[in-house]
Structure 1
Amino acid sequence: MKHEERLQERLAAYAKRGMQRSLRHRPELISFSSNDYLGLARNRELLLQLGQEKYEQMGATGSRLLSGHHPAMLELEQQLAQFHEAETALLFNTGYLGNLGLVSALLQRGDTLYYDALAHASLHDALKLAKGQAFAFAHNDLQDLERQLALAPKGLRYIWVESLYSMDGDRAPLGALADLAERYGAALLVDEAHATACFGPNGGGLVQELGLSQRIFARLHTFGKAVGSHGAVILGSSTLRQYLINFARPLIYSTAMSLPQIGHLRLVYRYLEREGARLRAELQQRLAHYLALREKLALSTILTANQGPIQAIFWPGNREVLALSEHLEGQGFDLRPIRYPTVPRGQERLRICLRADMDLGDISALLEALGAYVGR
């Protein structure tokens, strides 16, 4: 078989099963697919401020261990550590690379990591690089996790969870997980990607909202969602930071963030300190409107009622959920189908992402269109 033929064969098999992906840009549609939960990605004030900044260079020119390090990066890390109530912070180019670097560096031979069954793809890819072993526990099932911890072999133990799950939109029981971790001598790793800026007294995330900052071994916060930018940070002890600088391959072998990106993040975090509470209140208003309409239109059997910006329309079957997505697109809405194998077979869904800058009328129109489709 020739090389091109193999690619064509795999693509054809994907398409036959309703799994083929494509790149699309539909700005004319009302988007319910964006992770820009606070509307900061297109915030005019921030864009104007960024345009007024002056930078000595654009690209970082190399990894931080070579020519790419800059004092502005340290200043941002100190700002992030203070904001998120952490001893230190270390920047990564994306949340995906942050998880890849953290887990692959920590998990050594003889160590064991226990992770929630709904873990993000970045965790699964990190485990392919890690030297230790890993086992999944049933989603948010503390009994299953404790059963496995009790049988754990010798070596260091880690527990990996998301504070707010990206596909289901529900929360991890962080307090109980911290208790279990301490009881069994495990280090708790928390991915706060979808909770960053949306929860906590200052937008620091669910760990801070629950007062658990000092009980978590490492936290990952990403900037490509509610922060409206790009990149990620790992929070932890000074020892962890130094360890990752020496052993996290995505940090060692990647060109560092650009200075304009660093500057944008500093502006956004200062803006969150001033305006974050207002934006989170506006997001909560959209959530309350969605939840009330969900009950009014009797859509509780197919729509989730999560206490956060991520909701879902469960619609099993790859072809079936794609058909629903295309129907709603025809009504002027952009909701992307989440299909197997991204989610387990039979749990296909459309994800609804609520945003602080979203028109309440658009939420009403979407749920009414969905109700009409279900009742036809």
Structure 2
Amino acid sequence: MIRVPVLSPDGEPLMPAKASRVRRWLKSGKAKVVHNDLGIFQVQLTEKPSGRETQDIVAGIDPGKLFTGIAIQSRSATLFLAHLKLVFKTVTKRMTQRAMMRRGRRGRRINRKLPFNQRNHRQCRFDNRSRAKIPPSIRANKQLALRVIQELGKIYPFTDVVVEVIKARGDKGFSPAMVGQYWQIEQLEQAGYTVHTQEGWYTSTLRQYLGLPKSRNKASESPAAHAVDGICLAASRFMRYRQIKGRSGTFLGEITVTPCQFAVISRPPICRRQLHLMIPGKGGKRRDYGGTVTRHGFRKGDYVKAVKAGITYYGYVSGDTKTQVSVSNANWKRLGQFTASKVQLLQRNTGLVSTVGLSNLTTLSGAV
């Protein structure tokens, strides 16, 4: 039975309730549907709750280079699963392009016909190699996972987070999945969560013990790709491994894996405003490119409802023309161009794009 997140009248997250009970609340007017930045279906009570006691709930994070899995698990039910599509490649590409553009501008600024000591060279402002810092691509990955956890903390009453850590061989500075993992743990602790760490071999052993499926396709937008490991990470707070002398060990304790809401979450692929393009246009002029504000009052990434030929579409603003607004789906495939007057704003851009469906790991096909 699927559990639905429940908020108190003052916005405090309560213990999720069964969908059948939530339907009765909505029908009788004891609850109303409220929105959140992740697109998760949740309700808020309109009357004082009978109690605020909650069971133990744990969040599990399975970090990676291109994808991250997140799970919210209690002892008796799986509450939520998420598959995060990270921006590692996008940020790396944009940082490389930015360096090329800066190098080109500096080369054009310097008059190389003058003697070297008379050229307009900018002096070094500081030694940018003297301090350790996280690469922008790694930071963007960790910040996305941190943002999702913080949003989930407003929906589910959990205080413990289990993060999988890895140990890279050789020079650990060249492992994208490892660099910044302790920075992420520090950020979670500063946000008020109790963080626990766990190595990958333990996660794999626990997954096999629970009999959960695991997809070989890491890019698959399914719970069996990465979110299933989030369940195992969270389950480690309810189950412990015991070694039996002379025999293989076993796990003590148990959890129940149930159907739940499953979301695929990513950043909207919006091009920021660029003052200079990589290649100048004819006559040395550069056209305007990028930006988040349209000419019709919408922002790129806004969730809207659009009507065309009597058909209603729901999607995200991805561009505009003089009279029309482009609307795309969660995969940023354009649904069409709509007259601006027939586009209605539903939610402002939150920096997240999500597709929410239902998950049942016991009936997944194509998993091994």
Report the TM range for the smaller structure's normalisation: under 0.3
Larger Rg: 2
Q: Which structure exhibits the higher relative contact order, with contacts defined as CA atoms closer than 8 Å and separated by 6 or more residues?
A: 1
Higher helix share: 1
Task: Give the TM-score normalised by structure 2.
Answer: 0.26
